[in-house]
Amino acid sequence: MILNASVRHPLTDEEGCKKWLEKLVEIIDMKILIPPVAKYCDTNGNEGVTGTVVIETSHSSIHVWHQEEVPYIKMDVYSCKDFDPVDVVNFVKDTMDVISGGYTIIDRNRDVPKIMESALI
């Protein structure tokens, strides 16, 4: 799952990002293999927090640009185990107050990957 969204309440710090990733893993009913790590980037024009967590079936990552006029996120949830993308969408909406965005599902468990796209709002 690849998700991009403009949000009203973005993640802004490393600890908040790590806790958010832990909760995401819980919501999609996965198990953490390597705990979340997050780092704040202060490079001009790229300010924001980036985090990743390794789960038993792959990983999830998020990049947040919170200092933009309209803050936005880009995130991935990759897993060989099925999960409900609606759970991810609802979690992002509930925690960050989505303005607009969309997501793409790439089902790699087929000989030919199946791609599905949807708007968040």
pLDDT in tens, 47-94: 999 999 999 999 999 999 999 999 999 999 999 898 999 999 999 999
Residue 45, pLDDT score? 86
- Concatenated DSSP letters for 11-55? --SHHHHHHHHHHHHHHTT--EEEEEEEEEE--TT--EEEEEEEE
- CATH, range 2-119: 3.60.90.10
Residue 115, pLDDT score? 77
Sequence-distant (≥ 6) Cβ neighbours of residue 95 within 8 angstroms: 9, 20, 23
Residue 26, pLDDT score? 97
Q: Of the candidates 78, 76, 73, which has an alpha carbon nearest to the alpha carbon of residue 49? A: 73
In the predicted model, is pLDDT for residue 38 greater than 70?
yes
